[in-house]
Chain A
Amino acid sequence: MNSEEFVQRLFSDYYRSHQPAPNSLEKREFGFGGFEKKIEARHAWFKSQEALSKFLIVNTPFYLSYSAAYYEFPDARPMPKKNWLGADLIFDLDAPAHECGKFTCQICLEKIKAETLKLIENFLIPDFGFAKPDFAINFSGNRGYHLHIRHQSILELSREERRELVDYITGTGIEFASFFRTDENNRIYGPLPTDGGYYGKLARETISQLQDGKGEIVQILGKKFEKPPNAQKLIDGIRLGNWDAVRIIDKEKKFNEILKTLTIKLSDQVDANVTADTSKLIRVPNSLHGGSGLCAIDVKKGISDFNPLSDAVVLPATEVKVEISEPVPKIEMKNQTFGPYGKDAQITVPAYFAAYLICKRAAAIG
């Protein structure tokens, strides 16, 4: 049995007892990928949950994707013949490139988790008025999270409209001039804490950091705001919309910088094209990821306590012998520490970790 067959057999066994059950399955287009490629074929359609489950057990793709869109005829080609009926709103957040490379480290995974939380708690809920039951969040299976919003109000948004939403959360197009006005005495009047959108965010976040005496915003404003009375004076001013209660040097530049700290910072963390593409194929929640052997598992219990390298590990722990083909750093999985391993090392490890290494092209069945 070669490595590819080994992983495929593990996947097939897993699908016998755990079937991904996408909502409105019969209205979605499906795509599959093999060991080498994430999408080898698309335009597939399953008439029932049973058909999908059977397919997964018998043919076991390494990657299973479905359309964010709902179609009348999901398998029709070319695209216009499918008759688009609407699409979920998707946000795809991936950990940024880092020295950890393909073995995504805990730090990167934590960072992207924080960014996902920020997107939900600072934007989607307060600004767009979504409620917790409106989202489904799942681990992407590799290095990030997918957010699916299925609320009736957004299903028919066009590409351009979705793009505008992404531009909003990344702060694209923010015009400093529309946030502040300067009166004839060069005094700056600005947003109130009660304002909506970036206006209120700016006022509230500035006040909160001034109260703590620390944070990115306080750093930008300068040392003299680390302590009351200056901080308190500015806070009192901002509450009334007066951003000039204390003298600030280079204020326009500084306020501009502060605005930038409020956005979902690294714009490539939210892949803008995924959200805007209304015919995008995306990993099916609760399917297995052929690039990691991890499960694109639903984050049900709450994302703050979620740890992918433990909660998304679903393959069995049976011991397997593998040979390392490239150096592997120390990795913690399911509360057990593995490695580091040098090239050509022969190791006996649980099947889930063996599958992880094989999917990462770092080991082969020994």
Chain B
Amino acid sequence: MDLLFAAKYPFTTGARSALLESGISMDEDTLQSGYERATVALSTGKLPKIAAELQSALVSQIASYASARMLLLALNNRYLTNRYAVAEAKRASAYLSGESEQNLELLCQELALRFEKNGRQYLLPFPEYLRFNPHSVDYRLSNRKISGGLVQVSPHERIRIMEEAIKARVGKLPDAKVPASVQPLAKKLLLHLPREELATVKLDSSNYPPCIQNMLVRLRMSENLPHTARWTLAVYLLRSGMKPEEIIGLFKNAPDYSEGTTRYQVEYLKQKGYAMPSCVTMDSYGICVARCRCASPVHYRKEKHGRFAEATRTDLQKGEPGTPSQETPEQTLAKKKWEDAKSRSQ
């Protein structure tokens, strides 16, 4: 086993077996190294590359990864796990661009990414592409060369996709029990949670359009929103009268949050006074989630209480089956009728 490879990419099965072979146990020192790895990742959003290539140093690198994830598993906090995964993916990605083709292929195999070489480009089956592309405008399927179920990507894009797959791999914690003794150290990591809880920001989100609500929910779950989504969200919230400080508070939940960048961006947006993109533009960014038929998300409130309310109602009537929005007494009766009928027939 190439130990250097395993230390660079500690999420691989090779790394796991190297760790087992080394006979290192999850003792206090190992846990401490994991705690340190997680602390650096969570506080700075980054992780340094390997400093020393001694065998023993490499093994401890792998061990620190494994124990960091064990600590995260003990907490099972989505924000911390995602933020940690972003840092690990960035670290791995820094190696990828200088990596040999052979090692890249090995990693792709590990990540279940079936890239095929095609001249200077690569081809990837579309379900894998959909799952792991970085979801920015450049990666929209409409602008891609796709044929026979395979999407064409450049070598650079291939690495970006690998980075996303690594992030997903690191962020997916195993379904395992953690010894109780790990808890005290793990709890210390909670310090890295965003200080302002989201709930303290007053949001009357019930009147926000579905696209904005969706972004807020995804942000709350510490998902990594693409740049265009963050941009539109900030523009919308600024226009709805929220203060920059409050908006920055919201973004604290983003796993790659950096206060400086966020503050700069939000204040820049406010200063520029950008107009809200229209629904068509939102759609082309891939962040429209419903067909609510208003020309722009800022019109949603008005539409919802006016013409739009009417339109949805008739839509529901003529539409194909869907969930009834609010059950009427007649519906309850009817439902009971079917349920009774069904229980008789089974």
Contacts and interface: CB of A to CB of B under 8 A. Distances in A.
B345 interface: yes
A236 interface: no
Given A59-B345, A129-B148, A274-B320, A168 B142 contact: yes
A55 B334 contact: no
Interface stretch (B64-72, B169-177, B279-287): B279-287
Interface in A272-327: 272-274, 280-283
Contacts of B335: 40-41
B145 A31 contact: no
Interface in A36-58: 37-42, 44, 46-47, 51, 54-55, 58
Nearest to A154: B127
B147 A126 contact: yes
Given A44-B338, A164-B286, A173-B286, A39 B324 contact: yes
Contact of B143 (A40, A174, A274): A174
Contacts of A130: 149
Contacts of A65: 321
Interface residues of A, number: 61
Contacts, number: 149
B140 interface: yes
A198 B143 CA distance: 7
B245 interface: no
Interface string B150-165: 1110000000000000
Contacts of B323: 39, 42
A39 B322 contact: yes
B290 interface: yes
Interface in B260-296: 283-286, 289-291
B194 interface: no
B149 A157 contact: no
B145 A195 contact: yes
A127 B339 CA distance: 44
A161 interface: yes
B205 interface: no
A171 B284 CA distance: 9
A336 interface: no
A281 B323 CA distance: 9
Interface in A123-178: 126-130, 153-154, 156-158, 160-161, 163-165, 167-168, 171-175, 178
Contacts of B1: none
A45 B127 CA distance: 30
Contacts of B231: none
B320 A196 contact: no
Contact of A271 (B130, B152, B320, B337): B320
A362 B342 CA distance: 31
Given A51-B345, A172-B283, A128 B149 contact: yes
Nearest to B125: A153
Contact of B142 (A171, A268, A274): A171
Given A128-B126, A174-B142, 17 more contacts: A31-B321, A34-B334, A37-B331, A38-B321, A40-B338, A42-B323, A59-B338, A92-B320, A127-B147, A127-B148, A127-B149, A167-B286, A168-B146, A197-B142, A197-B145, A197-B146, A282-B320
The list of the 9 closest CB pairs from A to B, nearest first, reads A129-B149, A196-B147, A196-B145, A41-B338, A40-B334, A161-B130, A41-B335, A168-B141, A173-B284
Interface of B: 125-127, 130-131, 135, 137-138, 140-152, 283-286, 289-291, 320-324, 331, 334-335, 337-339, 341-342, 344-346
24 contacts: A31-B321, A32-B338, A34-B334, A38-B321, A40-B334, A42-B323, A51-B345, A55-B345, A61-B338, A127-B146, A127-B147, A128-B146, A153-B125, A165-B130, A167-B141, A171-B142, A174-B142, A174-B284, A196-B146, A196-B151, A197-B143, A197-B147, A273-B290, A283-B320
